[in-house]
């Protein structure tokens, strides 16, 4: 491994960087983050029962709601407990995912 | 920070180096034209989700799901069938949508998973080869831990902890019970499938008695000190079913030593309890196929890499759901499904020679204390230092002392959750 050198410009990341992990790579992918919502809100946010549908909502709406639940300014039964488990960067990625799909 | 341990790295992919989009040059085992083959064992909460989400992440992967039944009857909401709120149809799912997505569904029981030869052996004969295998067989009962009971006595003393005929049997027995009769339920020791499940069952049987057989009593013989959502359940029971439920825990003669199905009597350290209907839920371990395929350790559960769910004992085979050791996550259908999605992404990445990503999970267990009275416990999980961790500050219980409106909403959301998750998995 010692002589195995990859030009940083080509790979952007080194083995060491990968194993220690830059902050950004620690985050789950948008898909993995959004998948955790589907069990309640339905696949891709399309609810089939009494849960609110969040498919087709604007990126800004989802981000604003999640931050509101997290701060407690939005009233909720369960979303406060869920939203507190996500960082602001994760919330941004989730909102982007729903807006795109 | 070992999001990706060297051990997994070497074992799965060879010690090459990751490029830009976390791709591993030269290690992708499937060049264009060769189809990667995944076999999923079990079509329940974990297995059916894994099959569907592997296809969603990458439709080019060939996915075969092996499951003995053509219909899957869910444990979630089976307590509403036992309490007479729903019929069995409400909780019966099938595999049509998975087939439409291109998942090949084989109705058979896997007899053995051979990690070295990379194939599963079917009970009716024949084998299916895999590049990676995902196993989600649920639980098996440790009948040997209780004197007097075994699989054959379940026709008299049901467990109803795997849904289907057992659910209907318990319902029938409760319907036949006279007003003023005694229902005895004995929950298992930890760890077991669905920690709040016994509390919900007690509640919905009480709800049925209140309506149809108000003189009847419920006796609980629990070998544990406390149970999931205890405060919330007891608050609901005091409001809705005062005086009906007699709860014995480990400090109050709750440990059942022996059961006599002929006389319907449960013997504890200090006494004996005779019931008209008895629901004994045995202590549990990983599904049998996991045991016979070398996937379990001396805890009788399956140790896994908590990033990819790959077995620590058999490389190339991933275990999710109730059978896996995914603590601090509980054994629930929600947990099995959220694990399956993380595992699906990892399996696809590994097959494509890419690094698996960082996991993130959510679990919420809704319970009905009555048709219009819901409660819940939730938690968000991340991955740090090679382990699944609870995200500090997230999750927790429904507030205690909440008003009727709150509980009505949570009851509606409980049904909404059930309909969404079953549609997400089998729809
Ligand atoms: C009364 C009750 C209420 C519950 N309520 C809830 C709830 O409200 N919310 C919640 O999240 N969870 C709930 N649960 C828990 C939930 O049912 C389980 O945690 C969940 O089913 C686990 O998923 P799994 O994939 O591990 O196993 P399962 O869903 O049990 O699936 C296992 C599948 O594997 C198949 N199988 C087994 N062996 C083989 C083999 N050798 N070859 C092929 N196929 C095989 C079985 O036929 C089965 O279909 C409840 C459980 C009970 C008992």
ipTM: 0.91
Residue B423: inside a domain: no
Instruction: Please state whether beta strands B119-122 and B110-114 pair in parallel, antiparallel, or not at all (unpaired).
Output: antiparallel
Task: Give B-chain residues touching A10 at CB under 8 angstroms.
Answer: 19-20
Q: Ligand 1 centroid vs B197 CA: distance in angstroms? A: 13
The domain that holds B174 is classified in CATH as 3.50.50.60
Q: Is the pLDDT of residue B21 over 50?
A: no
Q: Are residues B319 and B213 both part of a single domain? A: no
Specify the pTM. 0.92
A101 pLDDT higher than 90: no
Buried b vs exposed e over B98-126: b needs ≥16 C-beta within 10 Å? beeeebebbeebbeebbbeebbbebeeee
Q: What is the pLDDT of residues B210-263, one digit of tens each?
A: 999 999 999 999 999 999 999 999 999 999 999 999 999 999 999 999 999 999
- Indicate the residue among B248, B280, B312 that finishes a domain: B280
Q: Which residue of A has its CA nearest to B23?
A: A11
Does the distance separating the beta carbons of A90 and B360 come in below 8 Å? Answer: yes
Q: What average pLDDT score do residues B71-86 get? A: 98
Higher pLDDT, A3 or A91: A91
Average pLDDT, whole number, for chain B?
Answer: 93
Shared domain for B334 and B255, answered yes or no, is: no
Tell me what the pLDDT averaged over chain A comes to.
82
C-alpha to C-alpha distances, B173 to B212, B277, B305, B325, nearest whole angstrom: 14, 6, 43, 35
Q: Check pLDDT > 60 for residue B31.
A: no
Whether ligand 1 lies within 6 angstroms of the CB of B334 is answered as yes
Q: What is the pLDDT of residue A26?
A: 83
Domain containing residue A93: 30-100
Left if phi > 0, otherwise alpha if psi is -120 to 50, otherwise beta: which for B306?
alpha
pLDDT at A58 over 90: yes
Q: C-alpha B119: how far from its chain's center?
A: 25
Residue of A nearest to B1 (CA): A20
Number of domains in chain B: 2
**How far does the centroid of ligand 1 lie from the alpha carbon of residue B364, in Å?**
16
Query: Which DSSP string do the residues of chain A spell out, in sequence order?
Result: -TT----HHHHSS-HHHHHH--GGGGSPPHHHHHHHHHHHH-GGG--SSSSPP-TT--HHHHHHHHHHHHHT-S--SSHHHHHTTS-HHHHHHHHHHHHH-
Q: What is the pLDDT of residue A35?
A: 98
Half-sphere exposure of B336 (CA within 13 A, CB side): 32
pLDDT above 70 covers a percentage of chain A that reads 75
Q: Determine, for residues A11 and B19 on separate chains, whether the beta-carbon distance falls below 8 Å.
A: yes
Interchain contact B312–A (C-beta under 8 A) = no
Residue at B378 is within a domain = no
Q: Is residue B388 part of a domain?
A: no
Residues B33 and B124 in one domain: yes
pLDDT over 90 for what percent of chain A? 72
In a domain, A91, yes or no: yes
A83 domain residue, yes or no: yes
The pLDDT tens digits of the residues spanning A21-42 come to 333 458 999 999 999 999 999 9
| B72 lies in the same domain as B136 | yes
Instruction: Outline where DSSP puts E strands in B159-210.
Output: 182-186
Report yes or no: B290 and B198 within 8 Å, Cβ to Cβ.
Answer: no
CA distance B350 to B84: 46
User: Which residues span the domain enclosing B172?
Assistant: 147-280
Our mutation pick for probing the ligand 1 site, out of B40, B72, B75, B323, counting the most ligand atoms within 8 A of Cβ, is B75
CATH number at residue A83: 1.10.760.10
**Does B32 score more than 70 pLDDT?**
no
Q: Output the pLDDT for position A22.
A: 36
> What does each C-alpha distance from B120 to B137, B317, B379, B413 come to in angstroms?
14, 11, 35, 40
Judgement on whether residues B238 and B127 belong to the same structural domain of the protein: no
Report how many Cβ contacts below 8 Å link chain A to chain B: 150
| pLDDT for the residue A25 | 54
Q: Kindly state the percentage of chain B with pLDDT values over 70.
A: 92
Q: Is a pLDDT exceeding 60 seen at residue A10?
A: no
Residue among B16, B17, B97 with most chain A CBs within 10 A, to mutate: B17
Confidence at residue A8, expressed as pLDDT on a 0 to 100 scale: 35
Report yes or no on B396 lying in a domain. Answer: no
A3 within a domain of the structure (yes/no)? no
Q: Whole-angstrom Cα distance, residue B129 to residue B152? A: 35
Q: Is the pLDDT of residue A18 over 60?
A: no
For residues B379 and A82, what is the distance between their CA atoms, to the nearest angstrom?
Answer: 7
Residue B136 Cβ < 6 Å to ligand 1:
yes
Tell me which chain A residues have a C-beta less than 8 angstroms from the C-beta of B10.
none
């Amino acid at each position: 491994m010692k002589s195995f050198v990859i030009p940083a410009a080509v790979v952007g990341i080194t083995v060491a960087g990968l194993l220690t992990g830059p902050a950004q790579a620690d985050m789950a992918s948008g898909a993995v983050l959004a998948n955790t919502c589907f069990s309640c809100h339905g696949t891709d946010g399309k609810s089939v029962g009494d849960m609110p549908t969040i498919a087709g909502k604007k990126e800004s709406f989802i981000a604003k709601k999640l931050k509101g639940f997290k701060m407690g300014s939005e009233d909720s039964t369960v979303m406060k407990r869920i939203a507190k488990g996500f960082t602001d960067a994760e919330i941004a990625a989730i909102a982007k995912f729903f807006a795109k799909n | 920070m070992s999001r990706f341990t060297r051990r997994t790295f070497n074992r799965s992919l060879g010690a090459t180096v990751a490029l830009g989009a976390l791709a591993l040059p030269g290690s992708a085992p499937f060049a264009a034209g060769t189809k990667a083959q995944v076999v999923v064992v079990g079509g329940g909460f974990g297995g059916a989700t894994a099959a569907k989400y592997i296809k969603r992440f990458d439709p080019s992967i060939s996915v075969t799901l092996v499951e003995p039944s053509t219909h899957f009857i869910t444990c979630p909401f089976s307590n509403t069938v036992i309490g007479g709120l729903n019929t069995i149809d409400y909780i019966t799912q099938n595999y049509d949508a998975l087939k439409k997505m291109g998942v090949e569904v084989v109705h058979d029981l896997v007899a053995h998973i051979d990690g070295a030869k990379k194939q599963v052996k079917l009970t009716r004969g024949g084998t299916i080869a895999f590049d990676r295998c995902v196993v989600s067989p649920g639980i098996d009962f440790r009948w040997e831990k209780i004197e007097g009971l075994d699989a054959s006595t379940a026709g008299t003393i049901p467990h109803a902890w795997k849904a289907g005929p057992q659910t209907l049997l318990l319902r029938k027995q409760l319907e036949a019970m006279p007003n003023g009769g005694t229902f005895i339920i004995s929950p298992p020791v930890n760890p077991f499938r669905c920690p709040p499940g016994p509390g919900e069952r007690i509640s919905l049987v009480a709800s049925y008695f209140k309506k149809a057989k108000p003189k009847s009593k419920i006796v609980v013989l629990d070998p544990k000190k406390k149970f999931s959502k205890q405060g919330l359940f007891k608050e609901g029971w005091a409001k809705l079913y005062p005086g009906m439920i007699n709860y014995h825990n480990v400090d109050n003669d709750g440990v059942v030593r022996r059961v006599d199905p002929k006389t319907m009597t449960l013997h504890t350290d200090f006494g004996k309890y005779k019931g008209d209907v008895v629901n004994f839920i045995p202590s549990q371990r990983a599904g049998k196929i996991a045991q016979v395929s070398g996937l379990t350790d001396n805890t009788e559960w399956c140790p896994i890499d908590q990033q990819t769910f790959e077995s620590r004992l058999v490389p190339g085979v991933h275990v999710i759901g109730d059978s896996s050791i995914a603590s601090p996550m509980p054994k629930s259908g929600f947990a099995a499904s959220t694990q399956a999605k993380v595992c699906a992404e990892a399996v696809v990445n590994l097959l494509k020679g890419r690094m698996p990503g960082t996991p993130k999970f959510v679990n919420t267990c809704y319970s009905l204390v009555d048709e219009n009275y819901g409660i819940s416990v939730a938690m968000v999980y991340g991955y740090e230092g090679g382990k699944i961790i609870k995200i500090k500050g997230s999750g927790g219980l429904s507030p205690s002392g909440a008003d009727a409106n709150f509980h009505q909403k949570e009851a509606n959301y409980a049904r909404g959750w059930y309909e969404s998750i079953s549609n997400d998995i089998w729809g």
